[in-house]
Chains A and B, each alone.
Chain A
């Protein structure tokens, strides 16, 4: 019996679909994703769409923070830039939704390039503070550039359309989200095994050594910021088109923390970690909500105690993951895979 997964060259080692088993399970997963909207209700599809937007945003942040080692606290601002760009292009200039998405990504990428400039001089906590400025600057712009953003009133966005078909329900929008998630994951997965991806990792591990090896820090750090912001912009544009409204309060500072938590809990420097992190941070609070509703229905009058307790449980789950698996859910997944790869001789 063949046991284990042996690679004989680097090309094999870098394959996205390394074995028939992976291809089989992925195919099965895709079939499930296609069947899912036909068996799920509006609420489940709403959550799935939200997970999709979070996956795109989290991959963007992971490319910057997890792969390139540049900590950013401005991710919510870049999501906001994309969201407002798309909303303004659609409602003010009559640009189609389909064109507004890449344009939103590009404008966000441009914003990311500008905000990323300090990364050439500062790193670590100092860079954190520099990127935090983006959060406040763009937050101010969203509120006060009223002629363009409509300030606190926000912008109502019509649903995307193809011909007369409207993507105005959770089910219809699911297909758009799915396509963008597949594109986003696919591109990131390819990027990290390319020359650029390896340059990112080299910068993260030791930027001085990377520079000596001939990696252009200026170019690659800014590219990482631009790509990360592009993802954020696309995520924001999709999110607000799904909600059909954009207001400044959609992009609070806490959103940055939430995205950082996604990539840390999921696994820094891992594409699949971003997916797991986004699912965890979006789905677990909802599961806890559902569970607390169920418990509350069996214990009338205890709502005051049970409802706040779910947040304690969520906090406890995050801390537990960080204690027991500091490398995140991605590492947990790797261990499960290894167990089955070596089965029945797993150790």
Chain B
């Protein structure tokens, strides 16, 4: 009897949410990688999205309508994330969705275009999400991975023309994404791509790759597809083996955690990001985020670049809601896309330079160098527009 009761309770809980009819309101649903190996970004991102929604609702919502926000854990597994997408869509019929990965974005792209017609962004900077012809509903609030590698290669070409370059990337879809375009770019910029090293993500033995780079006299090594490991290990071992190269990385590895792991070698590392850091208080938006964090989460001392990425994305979602609400037909996926694409020179308080959406992305980036004394990233370039 007890077992039957439990079964019935489970069934009701499973079916219950589907029967709740929701009034149609501006709604955002998100799948955050709250667990799994991308959880560092998912936990911060979920807070960022909640913060922007709360800030917007406190300021009166979308022309008086409160924004609804629902999220689920995608575990950084595509099948789980796709199921969560469908579950949230069935429950809440949102106009905006936020996904957890490149794989999920690629898998859902065709269906979002043909069926769901929701404005969509994700924890990804894949070129596929910045292609309005193929995927009009997808966008990224950053430059693509290919563009980020392009920023670094241009920086190298300017600093040392004809330098020996190596790509060091993870054996994942995320890792391989900009490599093909990177090879072409090296040719165009007159750089010698002398090595391509591939490794698994995480704590792996990378001595073979380091020795290979030494043999090929690599001058600049660009990492992509990692967060911290094995970047710190590669840099440390390179020093041990006498490889005198400069090391660089793309967005997800331009984070303070990596500098802590590098310790005194932090000065050796250069990264690219589209956003200001939490400690750059001179920017009004960063100041606003800091004040909000102090008020709501007094124990929190730092907000990562993942937080900034989701914060700016949600900020643009809110702006798109506001613009779409004034359009004929109100808040629909199609109107949201039009609203997003109409954003030009939109001031975001220095979190990044004034935003102009181009090809459903924001092709702007900045090069930062690690500082072993302050354990922070210092900008070594101005904002570079990539269009």
Q: Which of A43, A168, A308 contacts B83, CB < 8 Å?
A: A43
Indicate whether A289 sits within 8 Å of B107 (C-beta atoms), given known contacts A47-B83, A143-B176, A152-B177: no
Q: Which residues of B contact A (CB under 8 A)?
A: 10, 13-14, 16-18, 34-35, 43, 46, 72-73, 75, 78-80, 82-84, 86-87, 89-91, 103, 106-107, 109-111, 114-115, 128, 172-173, 176-177
* Chain A residues, Cβ within 8 Å of B75: 311
Which secondary structure dominates chain A's binding surface? Answer: helix
Q: Which residues of A contact B (CB under 8 A)?
A: 41-44, 46-47, 50, 143, 151-154, 156, 168-170, 243-245, 247-250, 285-287, 289-294, 303-304, 307-308, 310-311
A151 to B246, CA, bound (A): 30
- Is B110 in contact with A50, judged by CB distance below 8 angstroms? no
Instruction: Look across to chain B and name the residue whose beta carbon is closest to the beta carbon of A295.
Output: B13
* Chain A residues, Cβ within 8 Å of B17: 290, 293-294
- Is A46 in contact with B14, judged by CB distance below 8 angstroms? no
A335 to B307, CA, bound (A): 52
A247 to B101, CA, bound (A): 13
Q: A282 to chain B: closest CB distance in Å?
A: 9
- Is A311 in contact with B83, judged by CB distance below 8 angstroms? no
A286 to B13, CA, bound (A): 12
- Is A247 in contact with B110, judged by CB distance below 8 angstroms? no
User: Could you list 28 A-B pairs, sorted by A, with CB under 8 Å?
Assistant: A42-B86, A42-B90, A43-B18, A43-B83, A43-B86, A43-B89, A44-B90, A46-B83, A143-B176, A152-B177, A154-B106, A168-B114, A169-B115, A244-B110, A247-B173, A249-B78, A250-B78, A286-B87, A289-B72, A289-B83, A290-B13, A290-B14, A290-B87, A291-B10, A293-B17, A307-B34, A307-B73, A308-B35
* Chain B residues, Cβ within 8 Å of A41: 18, 90
A255 to B35, CA, bound (A): 18
* Chain B residues, Cβ within 8 Å of A303: 34, 46
Q: Which of A43, A168, A291 contacts B115, CB < 8 Å?
A: A168
- Is B83 in contact with A249, judged by CB distance below 8 angstroms? no
* Chain A residues, Cβ within 8 Å of B14: 287, 290
A152 to B114, CA, bound (A): 23
* Chain A residues, Cβ within 8 Å of B173: 152, 247-249
- Is A243 in contact with B82, judged by CB distance below 8 angstroms? yes
* Chain B residues, Cβ within 8 Å of A245: 106-107, 109-110
- Is B176 in contact with A285, judged by CB distance below 8 angstroms? no
Q: Which of A43, A243, A304, A311 contacts B43, CB < 8 Å?
A: A304
* Chain A residues, Cβ within 8 Å of B107: 243-245, 247
Indicate whether A46 sits within 8 Å of B34 (C-beta atoms), given known contacts A289-B73, A303-B46: no
Q: Which of B80, B90, B111 contacts A244, CB < 8 Å?
A: B111
Interface centre among A43, A47, A248, by most chain B C-beta atoms within 10 angstroms, is A43
- Is A294 in contact with B13, judged by CB distance below 8 angstroms? yes
Q: Which of B13, B89, B106 contacts A42, CB < 8 Å?
A: B89
* Chain B residues, Cβ within 8 Å of A289: 72-73, 80, 83-84, 87
Q: B2 to chain A: closest CB distance in Å?
A: 16
A44 to B19, CA, bound (A): 13
Interface centre among A151, A243, A294, by most chain B C-beta atoms within 10 angstroms, is A243
Instruction: Look across to chain A and name the residue whose beta carbon is closest to the beta carbon of B172.
Output: A249
Q: Which of A152, A168, A243, A286 contacts B176, CB < 8 Å?
A: A152
A154 to B90, CA, bound (A): 27
A43 to B15, CA, bound (A): 11
A293 to B128, CA, bound (A): 31
Q: B13 to chain A: closest CB distance in Å?
A: 6
